[in-house]
Structure 1
Amino acid sequence: MAATSSPVPDLHRNRLPTLFEVLSRRTMAPVDLFSFYIYMRDQQKSVDYLDFWLDVSQHLSLCRHYVRRLHRSVIEDTPELEKETSKRSSAVLDNAGEGPSGEKATTTPDQRLSAFLRSDQGSRQHSPQNSHGSNKSTQSTPGMERPRPSFMTADSNSPANESSPGQDSSGPDNVPKREDLRASAEKILYTYLLPGSEREIIIPQGILNDVQEAIEGPAQRSDPELFDAAKDYVFQAMERDAFPGFLNSKALGNLVPPSMMLRLIVGLLAMFGGFWAAFILIFLNKPRHIRCWLILPFTIGTYALTSQQYMLDPILVFAGLSEYTFMSFARIREPYVKKLLRSRALMALGLFILIDTATCALFIFVPGKRL
Structure 2
Amino acid sequence: MSKTPSPVPDLNRNRLPTLFETLSRRTLPPVDLFSFYIYMRDQQRSVDYLDFWLDVAQHMSLCRHFVRDLRRSVLVSTPEPGDSQRSSAILQSLGDMSHHAGPSMFASEKEKDQDAQMSAFLREARPDQDRPDRPGFHDSPQSSNGPRPRPSPGISSASRDITSDSHSPAHTVARNDIRASAEKILYTFLLPGAEREIILPGSITQDVTTAIEEYARDDPEVFDVAKDYVFQAMERDAFPGFLRMKALGNLIPASLIMRLIIGLLAMFGGFWAAFVLIFLNETRITRLWLILPFTLGVYFLASYQYSLDPILALVGYSEYTPFNFSRIREPYIRKLLTQRAIMVLAVTLLIDAALCVLFILVPGKRL
Q: TM-score, normalised by structure 2?
A: 0.85
1:42-61 CA distances to partner (integer Å, 9 max, x unpaired)?
00000000000000000000
- Whether contact under 8 Å (1:96, 1:114) holds in the other structure is no
Shift of 1:302: 0.5
Equivalent in the alignment of 1:236: 232
Output the amino acid matched with 1:332. Answer: I
Aligned equivalent of 1:190, options 187, 196, 208: 187
| Partner Cα separation in structure 1 for residue 317 and residue 255 of structure 2 | 14
| Partner Cα separation in structure 2 for residue 333 and residue 256 of structure 1 | 18
Shift of 1:74: 2.2
Secondary structure in structure 2 of the residue aligned to 1:356: helix
- Whether contact under 8 Å (2:150, 2:187) holds in the other structure is no
1:58 aligns with 2:49: no
1:129 aligns with 2:126: no
1:64-103 equivalent positions in 2, closer than 5 A: 64-78=64-78, 89-90=87-88, 92-96=90-94, 98-99=96-97
Runs of 4 or more, structure 1, over 6 Å off, are 148-151
| Partner Cα separation in structure 2 for residue 190 and residue 317 of structure 1 | 43
Equivalent in the alignment of 1:180: 177
1:198-220 CA distances to partner (integer Å, 9 max, x unpaired)?
10000000000100000001x20
Shift of 1:163: 9.1
Shift of 1:93: 1.2
Structure exhibiting the larger radius of gyration computed from Cα positions: 1
Output the amino acid matched with 1:360. Answer: C
Q: Gaps spanning 5+ residues in structure 2: where?
A: 99-108, 162-169
1:1-371 equivalent positions in 2, closer than 5 A: 7-78=7-78, 89-90=87-88, 92-96=90-94, 98-99=96-97, 107-121=112-126, 124-125=127-128, 128-129=130-131, 138=133, 141-147=136-142, 152=149, 174-217=171-214, 219-371=215-367
| Partner Cα separation in structure 2 for residue 272 and residue 349 of structure 1 | 21
The verdict on how the C-alpha distance between 1:301 and 1:155 changes in structure 2, with shifts beyond 3 A counting, is: closer
Output the amino acid matched with 2:45. Answer: K
The verdict on how the C-alpha distance between 1:151 and 1:268 changes in structure 2, with shifts beyond 3 A counting, is: farther
| Partner Cα separation in structure 2 for residue 73 and residue 56 of structure 1 | 26
- Whether contact under 8 Å (1:322, 1:332) holds in the other structure is yes
The alignment-based identity, stated in percent, is 62
| Partner Cα separation in structure 2 for residue 312 and residue 163 of structure 1 | 30
The aligned length equals 339
| Partner Cα separation in structure 1 for residue 302 and residue 216 of structure 2 | 58
1:262-283 CA distances to partner (integer Å, 9 max, x unpaired)?
1000000000000000000000
The verdict on how the C-alpha distance between 1:285 and 1:95 changes in structure 2, with shifts beyond 3 A counting, is: farther
| Partner Cα separation in structure 1 for residue 160 and residue 293 of structure 2 | 54
Shift of 1:239: 0.5
Secondary structure in structure 2 of the residue aligned to 1:78: coil
CA RMSD, Structure 1 to Structure 2 (Å)? 2.9
1:44-82 CA distances to partner (integer Å, 9 max, x unpaired)?
000000000000000000000111111222234438xx8
- Whether contact under 8 Å (2:153, 2:195) holds in the other structure is no
| Partner Cα separation in structure 2 for residue 26 and residue 105 of structure 1 | 21
Shift of 1:128: 4.6
Deviates more, 1:323-332 or 1:177-186: 177-186
Equivalent in the alignment of 2:105: none
Secondary structure in structure 1 of the residue aligned to 2:29: coil
